[in-house]
A and B are shown apart, each in its own frame.
Chain A
């Protein structure tokens, strides 16, 4: 998983979070409304209870007043009337508190007003009764009437009060039902709120836990990757470093220190820390390159030397370039590679190359000597021999003539040898230009060139149609010159030589030194003769430099001709082999790649 992907919350996750947030808020608002409705019903119940209580208090106060009046009438003791005023005040206090509780209901206000009226009437009766009772001459009949009237009034009043209390009781019943309902619904709401919060909490917790586990796994993987990278750097001799252009803070990988041969890995350090390990001849230049690049933000690449604490010199190839980090800050990132082995081998290769070039130049001048400077005196020797032969042959003895003949043959041999040496060296030189050429034309040129020799030997050269092949033309020309010359040279004295050049079909199992050959890949060209042949055991030896099978003077070879042939065929990535039967002839087979 990618880090970025991990830290980007999914749409589902965001939606779930939003929905649960709205749900919690909604349920909380509902709960709040229900709680205030519950409060309200509690207020209603307590108000109703209070009014009931006040009404009952009024009733009992009235009865109390009646009783104390009766007691006074009987005893004429005025102490019974002491509480009179207090009772009256209590009753009106209760009345006003009832009034406040029912102020929003017109029917009830009217009922209270009626009650007040009844109470005042009752009190008026009390006062009249008291006045009669206090007078000196008590008219018991009037008094009795008043008392009866008072009792009737009290009855009416109590009836009114009970009616009101009944009403309050009924109201209370309704309030209680409502209250119970409110309690039930708010309990459900509270419960569901708790459940929802719990679910959201659990969900979040599990998500947090899941993310934490993932982060832990990622962290482990990251650590592992870092470890792999470090090991890879160690094995490959590579290290990396970076520097933040804004903060100027450097970071070096562990292997950077190992390459420098340092045991301790330090952090929060800059290039200055390493300056003492950099070769004094290199430090100024590389610091300049680095510092310049930090100004104009161009990529850098250079090789420098370091000196390890143990004195060992290593070559470091350092390349650096600029990029932006996650925060968008410019960072220079570099790779430093220990290239000591490559560098030293490159140096030694260059050294070898130089010596090769000079060896080649020497070979070239050797060629020059052989082809020109050595031929010059030899040519003169031959020239003088021919002059002596022409003009002095009458004056020298037979033995002298014999010696001169031997000198002439030796000089001719030497000339052939030098020509072949030059030819051989020409096959080694590297000016190998391949051109698609018709071998028939090449052969025609060769036969033309050798026409004097061919005529001399009365030889027959038969060429059957040959293919077009990609060749270095002058070399293949030389190849056929040498092969035909070879056949002419080693021909039988009593038979006129017949030399055949033709193509052949490559057999299914045909091999050359374990390399399987096929018609698809190779041309097979056969040069055969009816000469003296050779023993099959020499079939490899004849291609070696200066190996001649016939030592007699009759066969004046240089020992180079077939070696040149082999070299030429090898230059064409082909093969050549020789088969011989002594006294019957030789067959040379050439395989050239198509």
Chain B
């Protein structure tokens, strides 16, 4: 996403785990990029927010899969079935790296799949790369191999 320095990049995260939300928040802050971060505790809050009429839509949405009320997969399905959200880039952000989850979200229309790293410096590295990704270029040559993000 190429943005000029004056417009902050709008990042959203939906994750039910408090620690993970904190790690994410800290990592984004450490990156020192001009951003606006909105964090939701579950899928339902996220969808309620997105669907309200005067919402400013995010540039990138980080979506955890295993959440109460509404799972990441259900959110993905709802977002991709709504024309209004077609410009949102969706990054799956999950502990799981099972073939089943990767396959499902790829077919479901996610743009990238990130396995949650077990090292904070690695997390920062991943987020930096993803936030600065040229989404147009990435999406145009997206396949199953490039879908699963690895550094």
Chain A residues near B (Cβ < 8 Å): 371-372, 375-376, 378-380, 382-383, 386-387, 390, 415
Q: Determine which of B66, B95, B120 lies in contact with A386 in the assembled complex, contact meaning CB atoms within 8 Å.
A: B120
Which residues of chain A have C-beta atoms less than 8 A from B98's C-beta? 371-372
A415 with B118: CB separation less than 8 A: yes
Complex Cα distance, B118 from A415, in Å, reads: 10
Complex Cα distance, B119 from A382, in Å, reads: 6
Task: Name the 10 nearest CB pairs between A and B, nearest first.
Answer: A382-B118, A386-B120, A379-B118, A386-B119, A387-B120, A376-B95, A372-B96, A380-B19, A383-B120, A375-B95
Q: Give min CB distance, B126 to chain A, whole Å.
A: 13
A378 with B118: CB separation less than 8 A: yes
Which residues of chain B have C-beta atoms less than 8 A from A382's C-beta? 118-119
Complex Cα distance, B119 from A282, in Å, reads: 69
Which residues of chain B have C-beta atoms less than 8 A from A386's C-beta? 118-122
Complex Cα distance, B122 from A143, in Å, reads: 199
**Interface pairs (6), CB distance under 8 Å:** A372-B95, A372-B98, A378-B118, A383-B19, A383-B117, A387-B23
Which residues of chain B have C-beta atoms less than 8 A from A372's C-beta? 66, 95-96, 98
A379 with B120: CB separation less than 8 A: no
Chain B residues near A (Cβ < 8 Å): 19, 23, 66, 95-96, 98, 116-123
Chain A: CB-nearest residue to B97:
A371
Q: Give min CB distance, B119 to chain A, whole Å.
A: 5
Which residues of chain A have C-beta atoms less than 8 A from B95's C-beta? 372, 375-376, 379
A383 with B121: CB separation less than 8 A: no
Which residues of chain A have C-beta atoms less than 8 A from B122's C-beta? 386
Complex Cα distance, B20 from A407, in Å, reads: 21
Residue from A382, A383, A387, A415 whose CB has the most chain B CB atoms within 10 Å: A383
Which residues of chain B have C-beta atoms less than 8 A from A415's C-beta? 118
Q: A372-B95, A376-B95 are in contact. Are A390 and B121 (CB under 8 A)?
A: yes
Q: Give min CB distance, B2 to chain A, whole Å.
A: 30
Complex Cα distance, B19 from A236, in Å, reads: 72
Chain B: CB-nearest residue to A379:
B118
Complex Cα distance, B95 from A382, in Å, reads: 13
Complex Cα distance, B117 from A378, in Å, reads: 11
Which residues of chain A have C-beta atoms less than 8 A from B23's C-beta? 383, 387
In addition to A378-B118, A387-B23, A387-B120, 12 A-B residue pairs with Cβ atoms within 8 Å of each other are A371-B96, A371-B98, A372-B96, A375-B95, A376-B95, A379-B95, A379-B118, A383-B19, A383-B23, A383-B120, A383-B123, A390-B121
Q: Give min CB distance, A181 to chain B, whole Å.
A: 124
Complex Cα distance, B20 from A380, in Å, reads: 8
Q: A375-B95, A376-B95, A379-B95 are in contact. Are A390 and B19 (CB under 8 A)?
A: no
Which residues of chain B have C-beta atoms less than 8 A from A375's C-beta? 95
Which residues of chain B have C-beta atoms less than 8 A from A378's C-beta? 118
Complex Cα distance, B117 from A379, in Å, reads: 7
Complex Cα distance, B96 from A372, in Å, reads: 6
Chain B: CB-nearest residue to A426:
B99
A379 with B121: CB separation less than 8 A: no
Q: Determine which of A379, A387, A390 lies in contact with B116 in the assembled complex, contact meaning CB atoms within 8 Å.
A: A379
Complex Cα distance, B122 from A451, in Å, reads: 18
Q: A375-B95, A383-B23 are in contact. Are A390 and B120 (CB under 8 A)?
A: yes
Q: Give min CB distance, B123 to chain A, whole Å.
A: 8
Q: Give min CB distance, A425 to chain B, whole Å.
A: 12
Q: Give min CB distance, A188 to chain B, whole Å.
A: 114
Residue from B98, B117, B118 whose CB has the most chain A CB atoms within 10 Å: B118
Q: Give min CB distance, A348 to chain B, whole Å.
A: 35
Q: Give min CB distance, B150 to chain A, whole Å.
A: 10
Complex Cα distance, B95 from A358, in Å, reads: 27
Q: Give min CB distance, A383 to chain B, whole Å.
A: 6
Complex Cα distance, B122 from A342, in Å, reads: 62
Residue from A378, A382, A386, A390 whose CB has the most chain B CB atoms within 10 Å: A386
Chain B: CB-nearest residue to A380:
B19
Which residues of chain A have C-beta atoms less than 8 A from B116's C-beta? 379
B96 with A383: CB separation less than 8 A: no
Which residues of chain A have C-beta atoms less than 8 A from B66's C-beta? 372
Which residues of chain B have C-beta atoms less than 8 A from A376's C-beta? 95
Q: Give min CB distance, A68 to chain B, whole Å.
A: 163
Which residues of chain A have C-beta atoms less than 8 A from B118's C-beta? 378-379, 382-383, 386, 415
Complex Cα distance, B94 from A376, in Å, reads: 10
Complex Cα distance, B115 from A371, in Å, reads: 13
Chain A: CB-nearest residue to B122:
A386
Complex Cα distance, B123 from A372, in Å, reads: 19
Complex Cα distance, B123 from A251, in Å, reads: 86
Chain B: CB-nearest residue to A378:
B118
Which residues of chain A have C-beta atoms less than 8 A from B119's C-beta? 382-383, 386
Which residues of chain A have C-beta atoms less than 8 A from B123's C-beta? 383
